[in-house]
């Protein structure tokens, strides 16, 4: 029995193994957020990224702990008997923790919070061990707030949230931008 109602029956893609079996470790200490309509054409181009920072179209947040979470599928009910529901898109999140609690950051996170209508055009997530960035090329919001736990450091905890069919793309980090 062939593909009766498949999305597509295109060729299959092969897996690509990491060079030398080097894994991408999953803690991100820095993120860059972009204004709507101000995404870089090449997220590895340091000149383009510097121009966006200088123009105020991007902002860099450092000394963070960011973890990209597994996506949650959004599915549609199949209208064909006996077939599984189709995945139509994914809700995606990245957990964000910032221990830089000070008056300036309270104001910054309040202004950046989605409850105030703030939407970003996308983001770069920096992986310092591999000198790579994940490029979120989708409208992104930030939600969260400050969290105090007894005998623990005060911190801002929240999420970046976006919807996309595709995972963020992986690129070489632009030189001289992150890890400085």
Say which CATH number the domain at 113 has: 4.10.410
Element (H, E) at 105: helix 103-112
Judged by DSSP in three states, 50 sits in helix
pLDDT at residue 123, as a whole number: 97
Q: How far apart are CA 165 and CA 25, in angstroms?
A: 23
For residue 18, the model assigns a pLDDT of 64
Q: How far is CA 20 from the centre of its chain?
A: 26
Say how many domains are in the chain.
1
For 26-80, how does the pLDDT look when each residue is reduced to its tens digit (9 = 90+)? Answer: 678 999 999 999 999 999 999 999 999 999 999 999 999 999 999 999 999 988 8
Q: How many beta carbons lie within 10 A of that of residue 94, not counting itself?
A: 22
Per-residue model confidence (pLDDT) at position 84: 87
d(CA 40, CA 52): 8
Q: Tokens 């209508």 label which residue?
A: 117
pLDDT band at 1 (very low <50, low <70, confident <90, very high): very low
The pLDDT > 70 percentage for the chain reads 86
Alpha-carbon span 23 to 105, nearest angstrom? 33
| Residue 166 belongs to some domain of the structure | yes
Q: Is residue 180 part of a domain?
A: no
Q: Which domain holds residue 157?
A: 24-78+90-172
Instruction: Return the pLDDT at 161.
Output: 97
Distance (Å, whole) CA 84 – CA 78: 6
Three-state secondary-structure class, residue 163: strand
Residue 10 lies in a domain: no
In a domain, 13, yes or no: no
For residue 17, being part of any structural domain is answered with no
**Is the residue at 60 inside a domain?**
yes
């Amino acid at each position: 029995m062939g593909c009766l109602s498949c999305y597509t029956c295109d060729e299959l893609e092969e897996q690509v193994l990491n060079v030398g079996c080097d894994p991408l470790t999953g803690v991100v200490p820095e993120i860059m957020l972009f204004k709507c309509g101000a995404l870089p054409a090449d997220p590895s181009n340091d000149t383009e990224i510097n121009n966006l920072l200088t123009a105020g179209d991007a902002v860099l947040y450092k000394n963070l702990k960011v973890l990209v979470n597994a996506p949650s599928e959004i599915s549609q009910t199949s209208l064909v008997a006996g077939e599984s529901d189709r995945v139509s898109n994914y809700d995606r999140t990245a957990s964000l923790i910032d221990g830089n609690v000070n008056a300036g950051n309270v104001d910054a996170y309040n202004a950046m919070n989605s409850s105030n209508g703030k939407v970003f055009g996308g983001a770069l997530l920096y992986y310092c061990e591999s000198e790579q960035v994940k490029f979120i090329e989708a409208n992104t919001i930030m939600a969260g707030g400050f969290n105090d736990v007894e005998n623990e450091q005060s911190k801002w905890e929240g999420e970046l949230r976006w919807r996309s069919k595709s995972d963020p793309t992986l690129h070489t980090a632009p030189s001289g931008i992150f890890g400085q």
